[in-house]
């Protein structure tokens, strides 16, 4: 596993049907963490996906950042993450967005 923060380039981009596996360990005392799929290496890059588990709210927030503006938040019910525990998330790119 790779330590955070971690940055990986996807030179061929993301296409419908691509599956990405993200593994890590939830920081022990963290109430939140996030994974961003950024559109470029630039400082103020747009985010195709902002995946934000919030242990303090028992929810996972999904969003995107386009032209400097956050989109409408979507929230998942429940939270399958625990502080200090390993996790694995599979992201599947579709024509309409992402599935988990």
Task: Pick the more confident residue, 10 or 88.
Answer: 88
Cα radius of gyration (the chain): 14
Q: How many CB atoms lie within 10 A of CB 81?
A: 19
State how far the Cα of 12 lies from the Cα of 56, in Å rounded to an integer.
36
What mean pLDDT comes out for the span 23-37?
Answer: 86
| Percent residues over pLDDT 90 in the chain | 40
Per-residue model confidence as pLDDT tens digits over 44-53? 889 989 999 9
Confidence (pLDDT) at 79: 85
Judged against a pLDDT cut of 90, whether residue 61 lies above it is answered with yes
């Amino acid at each position: 596993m790779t330590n955070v923060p971690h940055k990986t380039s996807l030179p061929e981009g993301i296409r419908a049907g691509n599956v990405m596996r993200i593994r890590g360990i939830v920081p022990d005392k963290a109430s939140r963490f996030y994974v961003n799929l950024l559109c470029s290496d630039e400082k103020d890059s747009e985010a195709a996906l902002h995946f934000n588990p919030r242990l303090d709210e028992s929810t996972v927030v999904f969003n995107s950042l386009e032209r400097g503006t956050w989109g409408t938040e979507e929230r998942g019910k429940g939270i399958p993450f625990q502080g200090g525990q390993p996790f694995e998330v599979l992201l599947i790119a579709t024509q309409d967005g992402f599935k988990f």
